[in-house]
Structure 1
Amino acid sequence: MRTHSTICVLLYIFLGSLSVVTACGNLLVIISIIYFKQLHTPSNCLIFSLAVVDLLVGIVVFPFSMSYPLSSCLYYRELFCKIRDSFDVVLSNTSILNLCCISVDRYYAVCQPLTYRTKINICVVSVMILMSWGVSIFIAIVFVITEVQQKKCEPNCYLDDVLEKTCLPIMAFYLPVIIMLYFYLRIYSVAQRQARSIQNIMNSGVTVSNGEKKATRTLAIVMGVFLICWLPFFLCFSLQLTGRVTIQVYETLNWFTLSNSMLNPFIYAFFYSRFRSAFRMIISGNIFQGDFSNSKLL
């Protein structure tokens, strides 16, 4: 019994730490973009939206999701579950769609730099953000309605269950993944062509090698971390139709998806030197010693 209680306490500490790290990392991104005028760009608006979503995941979904892994210690209430699932679906899907929008932004910035400022402006970015939230709320409503109907109907609800376990993952995950893969592969292809052009001009194989390695490493980290965090969960979600997936496995994989919100600040912000400079000024407390909003971030 004492060992069981110790495990519960350790789980609380570990999962609570993940929640704190997620909240603090995304809060740094939010403060940086709000405070430093140099970061007031349409592209950073998408990163800001992503950080807001991931911050809410850290302070809302993380604490709610701690209830099930610790359900052997706490009373697991059905209403509480529905509230948790609603927040989880909305915020997680919004996070995925924001990542998808960022891939579109990066594509135009790298592949069409001459028309980037006209095609990706504050109005376009605002529409992207509103659509991300709107589609996520729609998916959540469909998910909740389907769950409620399944509680009321007979075994002939199998068709509804199939639609939920197939259509929702396609809309919420597989389609955004295809879009992200398409744009990131296009970015990588353009980066390779640019590197070859530099090689022809400068006759330097080292430049090409470093450029290609950097592009490969960055894109591999972006897509690799995203797929590692999300793909197992959605495969498990679809496999629930077979009845071979236990709720413990399902909830464990759900924690992998939530960890993506903790890693996003490192992936999408820490790669940029301007954000790193902003973080150093915030953490050191320099911004409280004067007005540094116009500072040039290197």
Structure 2
Amino acid sequence: MNLSHPWTVESVGLCFESLNGSCVKIVYSPVLRAPLYLLFAITIILIVYGNLLVICTISSFQQLHTPTNYLIVSMAVADLLLGVLVMPPSMVRSLETCWYFGDFLCKFHSSTDFTLCNASVMHLTFISIDRYYAVCQPLQYHRRITTRVSVAMILASWGFSAFVGFGITFSELKVERERTKELHVNCKGGCLAMHGREIGFTYSIVFYFIPMFIIVSIYSKIFFIAQKHARAIHNYPTSSSVNKMDLKATKTLAIVIGVFMCCWTPYFMCNIIDPMVGHSIPPLLYEVLMWLAYLNAVFNPMIYALFYSWFREKSKLLYEKLYKLC
């Protein structure tokens, strides 16, 4: 993670000076670290505040308790946990270039990171299925996508993600062992993200690109049919079984998926390319792309605020209620 500019690196040392087998520590200049700490801290605060607002707004109003919104709330919980549990230790690891929280918390952090990322992908997949029935089979939507089905989707997303994320880490599964040693993952003060280089290629294909291909395929069909419904609504307002709100919700959630892909695809493309170029991609680039991916958790509440009038109205009412209580 060495940088060529002298103003960025103050010195090079060890994470634990008194221990044998300590990882190398890059000490960045305060000119670089101070603004980055501030930027990362603001990002974390925005993630926690924005997703907490989404959760509280939808939870506080009975008319917003729909199968689609349950999935949105659950995904907001994943983003909230990312901001609370994953990003603060990641901030320290990225800027101090060492892991100071012990081996167990390294495993827990990596497992949680893996779980929350995969949970977001699973939620987006189920949201695309929800939107498919809402637009493509509207007469069957309320019969097939019920609250019980939505809860089952949420439980499946969290259960599968946690089983895989924590199972891989705590079972001590190692892939590319020699490469792991070369990266100094086993030295004191090192902690490699679970969906980093160690299992990056396999993880990227199975848990990201295949689900994204399925999501894009479903949404391609949805928008093909949605265009027909939009023309039907325009020409014959009473002839279409799909209302304008469903079409708008589908477009908004497509934006959520598009932003997710823009944030996360560069990182996973790096995981795909890295083995092909002899693992020569700089670790610093991995750090930058990981933080770009984390930024996705900031954008979702902003998208809801921009495109959902009901979210703006209900969040305003929620603020008024809280103001009266205070």
TM-score range, shorter chain: 0.7 to 0.9
Percent identity over the alignment?
A: 39
- 1:187 paired residue number: 222
Per the TM alignment, residue 162 of structure 1 is displaced from its structure 2 partner at its CA by 9.8
- Given the alignment, which residue of 132, 135, 140 partners 2:165? 140
- 1:245 paired residue number: 281
Normalising by structure 2, what TM-score? 0.74
Residues 68-122 of structure 1 deviation map (CA, whole Å, 9 limit, x = unaligned): 22125x6656625433222211111111211221111112112211111111011
- Given the alignment, which residue of 235, 256, 260 partners 1:222? 256
- After superposition, residues 86-125 of structure 1 pair within 5 angstroms as 86-125=111-150
CA distance in 1, matches of 2:122, 2:273: 23
Per the TM alignment, residue 289 of structure 1 is displaced from its structure 2 partner at its CA by 3.0
CA distance in 2, matches of 1:20, 1:37: 28
- Given the alignment, which residue of 83, 94, 98 partners 1:58? 83
- Given the alignment, which residue of 277, 289, 298 partners 2:324? 289
Residues 220-271 of structure 1 deviation map (CA, whole Å, 9 limit, x = unaligned): 6334312211111111123332211222111211111111111122234642
Query: Secondary structure of the equivalent of 1:228?
Result: helix
- 1:294 paired residue number: none
Residues 122-141 of structure 1 deviation map (CA, whole Å, 9 limit, x = unaligned): 11111111111122123313
Q: Summarize the Cα distance change of 1:201–1:119 in structure 2 as closer, same or farther, 3 Å threshold.
A: closer
CA distance in 2, matches of 1:75, 1:169: 24
CA distance in 2, matches of 1:23, 1:258: 12
User: Structure 1: which 5+ residue stretches go unaligned?
Assistant: 203-210, 291-298
Normalising by structure 1, what TM-score? 0.80
Per the TM alignment, residue 28 of structure 1 is displaced from its structure 2 partner at its CA by 0.5
Query: Secondary structure of the equivalent of 1:244?
Result: coil
2:47 maps to a residue whose letter is T
Q: Is 1:172 aligned to 2:197, yes or no?
A: no
Per the TM alignment, residue 142 of structure 1 is displaced from its structure 2 partner at its CA by 5.0
Structure 1 or 2: more helix by fraction: 1
- Given the alignment, which residue of 256, 260, 265 partners 2:301? 265
Higher relative contact order (CA 8 A, sep 6+): 1
> Is the deviation greater in 30-39 or in 13-22?
30-39
RMSD: 3.3
Contact 2:174 2:198 (8 Å CA) reproduced: no
CA distance in 2, matches of 1:54, 1:96: 12
- Given the alignment, which residue of 234, 248, 251 partners 2:268? 234
User: Structure 2: which 5+ residue stretches go unaligned?
Assistant: 1-9, 11-26, 182-195, 238-244
**Between Structure 1 and Structure 2, how many residues are aligned?**
275
- 1:295 paired residue number: none
Q: Is 1:279 aligned to 2:315, yes or no?
A: yes
Contact 2:51 2:77 (8 Å CA) reproduced: yes
Q: Summarize the Cα distance change of 1:76–1:265 in structure 2 as closer, same or farther, 3 Å threshold.
A: same
CA distance in 1, matches of 2:85, 2:288: 18
Per the TM alignment, residue 216 of structure 1 is displaced from its structure 2 partner at its CA by 10
